[in-house]
């Protein structure tokens, strides 16, 4: 802990870094012009990387802490993301900066100055190419995890990466250059100041015109930007890029830039803005590095010229040190001078080799030349002295240490004006290493000869006119004959070889290809069958290259043939398997479609092409993508929106797709199909293709519809039977008390009409009438109990959940009848006290009536449900666009029905249930056609008596 504290940077620098980080975050937020992404150019990344590159590694924790505070403060000030998400995003930024700083310090020698093209390129590749991948991965995963602005990982990652890379390219190199270069005093001449002022005016004018959209494209700014980088190197590039970034930001934020635009083009413009700034920064830095490197090269060249002048003054002193042994002889061949190198080689001078009775020449040769070479050298020298001709000879000379070394001796006579030899100049060049190299080369050639015979290929050589001159051992063993055995009367050696060794079906084409190469000098390459020694023909691939001399003339042809017979057999098997698989796909009794990763169709099998009645290529040039053209032309309009939505969801998430919908056949008839799509992925999990199948299920759907109608008929028959049974029961139960009431009424009438009236008997009869009437009322109450449930089962709830449940319950029936159910519910509906089951029964009855009313409708087959707050009640409306109603009030009467097989009890029961809840149910005519059934439920509900 003490060590970390001891490396704490000054608080002022930490505060400046914190402030710069926050301002850079604000700059990034201001350029986030694409709605729903929140991702733009990220200058804090470049600032962070440059800071860690310049700072010592023990002080990194302090800078990371300051950056974390800046990120959290910027999140509160600019971004308003969840704190956990903001912290995870900062972790990605910190890891990006640490990885970049560590790699840069490992790759480039500190301190990092970015003065050469190699340094700039390495810094850009690491900081703007490799490191942003870390932040993009963590940041994109965070956005997807927290569902921030509906970002998915795959859509956010590229924008995040290029935004970080652009910010690094703009800020990081410039910060490093400014730190190292700006402290030096800038010395500019008057002309350079004038040039800088003119350049600034041109730069600002071109930037304002191009970025405001007045000029056709933004990259017109590149010439003045590169001018500044070339003339003023990194400082000019720094100032120019800073001005360019500020001007671009101002015009983009104000909406005047060509990088701003309508919402549909903003994502593209965002990428173009990032690429524009990244390319500008990259180009300026590269050009500045090249300019700087050029200046350093010019300075180095100037220093080299000065050193060369100094070197020339020393050459005269080095002539005596030339690496050759020089001697001078008299016209008679007597040595009179040895240069210093020769004296050092021998270890003695000319006078040291005089011997009595022997000439100095013979004494020198016999003393200093190898005994095996001395006689030959002495004979050569005497012959040259006698004839006056120059000579050259290789021999071994003894060095002062007794070692013999090969030298190349050459002698030239110096003659006077009369042609008489004045003296001989002789040089000896040490070629011992060369001789040893030649010996090694000869050994190497022997090894190469063995290698050529051992290489697992058939090697051959042809003369410039095409005659075979060499076969390696493997080719001789393969053919069973050598070059010398190719001779045939009346035929060239090449023709004889082709006639003997090449398959008759390939001989002519091979001869034509070889002759073409021999005439044109072009490379030869061809596959053909070559007969093996056992008579079996095997496929080989032969190729040959010409060897040329200094003048470009062909010296000989070197050829190679390798056996590819097994490979061709494998390839043929693979092709056969591919053909088999292709035939399977083409003949399967299903409709198959293959699409690119973005959903664009690339292949359809014949069954699908025949069903649709057009080829895939006919969709090109229509102004739509193949996918959009296919869906718009083939899918039924009522199914189109849902198909597009689900297909787009599958393409975005990679989830399999499955749906039933109607597809238009070539004859215009819509048939029900079941479409299923699944992605095919590579080894890394990336989607490379979508495979889609379509099954014609129209017959199945029709059968299901017929089954449903049959079931409905059975249900109606059961309802009629139940109603008949119920009616008989009601008549039986009510008949007895009613008959008693009638009988007692007649009796009461007789007692009252008697003279005098019998009031006591009449009173007892009235009491029996009241008893029998109450008995009938109890029967009716029991019947009503069949259609209602106890009010004690009501609970406080909202209609939205009940409507959603009913919509799910009715989804299958609506789908069978090809009706869409649209729901619109106010978000602020209050809760009401209701019996959940009874209200579900009401909604199901009303929705079913609306669906059945659309049976005769050809279009607009929609049942709309709307629930909203009206006064002290919640009002719910069920509307359809059917044939409408003529008697809105009479339709609620029991046993009244407009349906052919209706019982007329449904709406009567619905009204009873709604009224039991304290509400009201009525019917209206819908506009422009159809009916609307509306009921209300009070917010404060009292139980019915």
pLDDT in tens, 622-674: 778 888 888 888 899 988 888 888 989 998 898 998 888 899 888 889 999 98
CA distance 339 to 330: 15
Average pLDDT over residues 304-331: 69
Give the dihedral sign, CA 335/337/339/344.
Answer: positive
Residues 204-229 have a mean pLDDT of 66
- Cα–Cα distance, 914 to 921 (Å, whole number): 7
Closest CA to 377 of 407, 350, 332: 407
Asked whether the beta carbons of 693 and 608 are under 8 A apart, the reply is: no
User: How far apart are the C-alpha atoms of 111 and 119, rounded to whole Å?
Assistant: 11
Please check the confidence at residue 75 and state whether its pLDDT lies above 50: yes
204 vs 505, more confident:
505
Q: Which residue has the tokens 């190197």?
A: 233
CB 267 within 8 A of CB 34: yes
pLDDT(733) > 60: no
Q: Are 479 and 533 in contact (CB under 8 A)?
A: yes
Q: What is the pLDDT of residue 737?
A: 65
Residues 6+ apart with CB under 8 A from 309: none
pLDDT at site 255: 61
pLDDT band per the 50, 70, 90 thresholds, residue 679 = very high
Q: Give 485-541 pLDDT, tens digit per residue.
A: 667 777 777 788 888 888 999 888 988 888 888 888 888 888 889 888 888 888 988
Contact call for residues 38 and 148 (beta carbons, < 8 A): yes
Q: What percent of the chain clears pLDDT 70, i.e. is strictly above it?
A: 77
Weakest-pLDDT range from 31-40, 742-751, 756-765: 31-40
- The predicted pLDDT at position 5 comes to 67
CB atoms < 10 A from the CB of 377, how many? Answer: 20
Own/partner pairs for 6-10, CB < 8 Å, 24+ apart?
7/56, 7/58, 7/59, 7/62, 8/59, 8/62, 9/55, 9/59, 9/62, 9/63
Return the CA Rg of the chain: 52
Tell me if 799 sits within 8 A of 825, measured CB to CB: yes
Sequence-ordered alpha helix ranges (H) in 34-107: 43-54, 60-74, 83-107
Q: Which residues, other chains included, contact 27 with Cβ-Cβ below 8 Å and sequence gap of 6+?
A: 41, 43, 249
The confidence score (pLDDT) of residue 31 equals 64
Do the Cβ atoms of 530 and 498 come closer than 8 Å?
no
Mean pLDDT to the nearest integer, 797-809: 83
For 862-917, the pLDDT digits (tens) are 889 999 988 889 999 999 888 787 777 777 776 666 665 555 667 777 888 888 88
| pLDDT value of position 936 | 92
Cα–Cα nearest to 466, from 510, 425, 414, 424? 510
What pLDDT, in 10s, does the model give residues 89-99?
Answer: 888 888 988 98
Cβ proximity of 590 and 607 under 8 Å? yes
257 has a pLDDT exceeding 80: no
With contact defined as beta carbons under 8 Å apart, do 474 and 458 qualify?
A: yes
Confidence of residue 149 (pLDDT cuts 50, 70, 90): low
pLDDT digits (tens, 9 = 90+) for 98-107: 988 888 888 8
**Does the structure show a pLDDT above 80 at 181?**
no
Residue range 556-579, pLDDT digits in tens: 888 888 888 888 888 888 888 878
Place of tokens 């001697």: 327
Chain position carrying tokens 């000019």: 236
pLDDT in tens, 439-452: 887 777 667 666 66
Q: How many CB atoms lie within 10 A of CB 400?
A: 12
Of the candidates 814, 825, 816, 798, the one whose C-alpha atom is nearest the C-alpha of residue 851 is 814
**Cα–Cα separations (whole angstroms), residue 183 to 14, 46, 110, 176, 234:** 20, 21, 18, 12, 13
Q: Which residue has the tokens 């100095």?
A: 360
pLDDT at res. 656? 92
921-941 confidence digits (pLDDT tens): 898 888 878 888 899 999 864
> Residue 791: what pLDDT?
43
User: What's the pLDDT at 185?
Assistant: 52
Residue written as tokens 């974390």? 68
35: confidence class by pLDDT, cuts 50, 70, 90:
very low
pLDDT single digits (tens) 98-131: 988 888 888 887 777 776 777 778 877 888 888 8
Other C-beta atoms closer than 10 Å to the C-beta of 379 total 11
Look over the chain and give the mean of its residue pLDDT values, rounded to a whole number.
78
pTM for this predicted structure: 0.34
Structure tokens at 625: 């993508």
Under 8 Å between Cβ of 56 and 104: no
Burial label for 40, CB within 10 Å (0-12, 13-18, 19+), is buried
Query: What whole-number distance in Å separates Cα of residue 636 and Cα of residue 661?
Result: 7
DSSP annotation of 8 reads P
SS3 content of the chain, % helix, strand, coil (to 5): 60, 20, 25
- Distance in angstroms (rounded) separating the CA atoms of residues 529 and 539: 4
Query: 349 in the Ramachandran plot: left (φ > 0), alpha (ψ -120 to 50) or beta?
Result: beta
∠ Cα 673 676 677 (to 5°): 140
**More confident position, 258 or 919:** 919
């Amino acid at each position: 802990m003490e060590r970390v504290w001891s490396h704490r940077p000054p608080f002022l620098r930490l505060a400046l870094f914190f402030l710069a980080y926050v301002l850079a975050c604000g700059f990034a937020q201001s350029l986030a012009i694409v709605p729903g992404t929140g991702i733009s150019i990220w200058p804090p990344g470049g600032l962070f990387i440059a800071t860690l590159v310049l700072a010592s590694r023990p002080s990194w924790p302090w800078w990371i802490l300051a950056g974390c505070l800046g990120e959290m403060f910027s999140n509160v000030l600019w971004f308003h993301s969840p704190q956990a998400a903001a912290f995870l995003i900062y972790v990605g930024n910190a890891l990006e900066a640490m990885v970049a700083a560590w790699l840069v310090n490992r790759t480039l020698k500190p301190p990092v100055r970015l003065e050469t093209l190699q340094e700039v390129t390495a810094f850009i590749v690491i900081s703007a190419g490799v490191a942003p991948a870390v932040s993009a991965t963590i940041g994109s995963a965070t956005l997807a995890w927290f569902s921030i602005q509906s970002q998915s990982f795959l859509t956010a990652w590229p924008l995040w990466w290029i935004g970080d890379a652009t910010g690094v390219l703009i800020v990081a190199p410039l910060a490093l250059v400014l730190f190292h270069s700006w402290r030096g005093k800038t010395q500019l001449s008057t002309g350079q100041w004038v040039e800088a002022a003119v350049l600034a005016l041109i730069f600002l004018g071109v930037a304002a015109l191009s970025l405001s959209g007045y000029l056709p494209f933004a990259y017109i700014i590149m010439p003045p930007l590169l001018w500044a980088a070339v003339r003023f190197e990194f400082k000019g590039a720094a100032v120019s890029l800073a001005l360019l970034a500020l001007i671009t930001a101002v015009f983009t934020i104000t909406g005047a830039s060509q990088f701003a635009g309508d919402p549909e083009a903003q994502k593209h413009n965002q990428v173009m803005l990032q690429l524009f700034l990244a390319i500008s920064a990259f180009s300026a830095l590269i050009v500045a590095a090249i300019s700087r490197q050029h200046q350093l090269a010019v300075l180095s060249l100037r220093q080299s010229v000065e050193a060369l002048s100094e070197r020339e003054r020393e050459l005269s002193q080095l002539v005596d040190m030339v690496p050759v042994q020089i001697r001078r002889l008299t016209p008679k061949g007597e040595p009179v001078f040895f240069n210093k190198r020769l004296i050092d080689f021998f270890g003695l001078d000319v006078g040291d080799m005089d011997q009595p009775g022997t000439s100095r020449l013979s004494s020198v040769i016999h003393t200093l030349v190898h005994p095996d070479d001395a006689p030959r050298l002495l004979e050569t020298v005497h012959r040259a002295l006698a004839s006056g001709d120059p000579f050259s000879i290789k021999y071994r000379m003894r060095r002062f240490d007794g070692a013999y070394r090969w030298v190349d001796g050459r002698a030239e006579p110096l003659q006077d004006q009369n042609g008489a030899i004045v003296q001989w100049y002789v040089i000896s060049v040490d070629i011992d290493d060369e001789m040893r190299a030649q010996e090694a080369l000869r050994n190497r050639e022997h090894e190469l000869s063995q290698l050529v015979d051992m290489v697992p290929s058939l090697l051959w050589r042809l003369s410039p006119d095409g005659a075979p001159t060499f076969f390696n051992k493997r080719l001789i063993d393969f053919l069973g004959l050598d070059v010398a055995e190719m001779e045939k009367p009346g035929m060239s050696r090449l023709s004889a070889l082709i006639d003997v060794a090449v398959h008759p079906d390939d001989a002519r084409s091979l001869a034509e290809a070889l002759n073409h190469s021999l005439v044109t000098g072009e490379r030869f390459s061809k596959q053909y069958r070559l007969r093996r020694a056992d008579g079996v023909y095997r496929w080989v691939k032969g190729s040959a290259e010409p060897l040329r001399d200094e003048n470009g003339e062909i010296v000989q042809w070197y050829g190679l043939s390798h056996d590819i017979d097994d490979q061709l057999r494998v390839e043929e098997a693979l092709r056969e398997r591919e053909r088999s698989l292709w035939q399977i796909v083409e003949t399967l009794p299903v409709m198959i479609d293959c699409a690119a990763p973005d959903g664009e169709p690339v292949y359809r099998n014949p069954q699908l092409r025949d069903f649709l009645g057009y080829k895939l290529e006919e969709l090109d040039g229509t102004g739509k993508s193949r996918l959009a053209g296919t869906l718009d032309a083939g899918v039924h309009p009522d199914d189109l929106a849902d198909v597009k939505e689900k297909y787009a969801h599958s393409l975005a998430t990679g989830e399999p797709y499955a749906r039933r919908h109607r597809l238009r056949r070539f004859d215009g008839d819509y048939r029900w199909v079941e479409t299923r799509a699944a992605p095919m992925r590579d080894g890394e999990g990336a989607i490379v293709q979508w495979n889609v199948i379509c099954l014609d299920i129209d017959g199945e759907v029709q059968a299901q519809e017929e089954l449903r109608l049959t079931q409905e008929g059975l249900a109606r028959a059961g309802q009629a039977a139940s109603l008949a049974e119920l009616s008989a029961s009601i008549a039986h139960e009510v008949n007895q008390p009613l008959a008693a009431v009638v009988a007692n009424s007649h009796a009461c009438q007789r007692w009252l009409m008697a003279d005098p009236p019998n009031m006591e008997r009449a009173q007892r009869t009235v009491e029996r009438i009241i008893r029998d009437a109450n008995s009938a009322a109890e029967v009716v109450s029991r019947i009503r109990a069949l259609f209602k449930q106890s009010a004690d089962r009501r609970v406080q709830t909202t209609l939205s959940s009940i409507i959603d449940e009913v919509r799910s319950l009715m989804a299958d029936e609506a789908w069978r009848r090809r009706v869409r159910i649209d729901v619109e519910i106010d978000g602020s509906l209050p809760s009401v006290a209701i019996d959940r089951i009874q209200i579900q029964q009401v909604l199901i009855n009303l929705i079913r009536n609306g669906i059945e009313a659309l049976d005769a409708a050809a279009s607009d087959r929609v049942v709309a449900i709307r629930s909203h707050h009206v006064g002290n009640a919640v009002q719910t409306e069920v509307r359809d666009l059917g044939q409408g109603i003529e008697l809105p009030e009479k339709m609620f009467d029991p046993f009244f029905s407009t349906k052919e097989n209706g019982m007329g009890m449904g709406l009567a029961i619905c009204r009873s249930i709604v009224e039991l809840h304290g509400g009201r149910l009525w019917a209206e005519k819908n506009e422009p056609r159809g009916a609307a059934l509306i009921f209300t439920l009070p917010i404060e509900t009292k139980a019915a008596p």
